[in-house]
Amino acid sequence: MDNIKLLNVQSLDSHKRLEYLIRKVADFELIWSSYGDNGWLLLSDENGRRITPFWPEKEFVNEYNITHKYDYFAKKIDLYYF
């Protein structure tokens, strides 16, 4: 994936990004997340609820980890297992 495609998808509104995620996951039967020494990346929302982010492609995970300086790597999850 090139940077232009990555930027184009990131510039979509949340509804269109969700549609993109669903389409890619359905096509490839894979979903991606961040994994590290302590397991899956867990974030918190403003109410303290735990959140695990998921992405449609490996490049999105890598970009997120680099941008946020997380020491995690992209790990795919088979849709059936997910």
pLDDT in tens, 2-33: 788 889 999 999 999 999 999 999 999 999 99
44, two tokens: 């918190």
Q: Is the pLDDT of residue 45 over 80?
A: yes
* Lateral strand order in the sheet of 30-36: 39-40, 30-36, 73-78
Q: Is the pLDDT of residue 60 over 80?
A: yes
Task: List the domain boundaries for the chain.
Answer: 3-78
Round to whole Å and give the CA distance between 47 and 55: 23
Distances (CA, A) of 8 to 2, 13, 20, 25, 28: 10, 10, 11, 18, 20
pLDDT reported for residue 43: 96
pLDDT reported for residue 2: 76
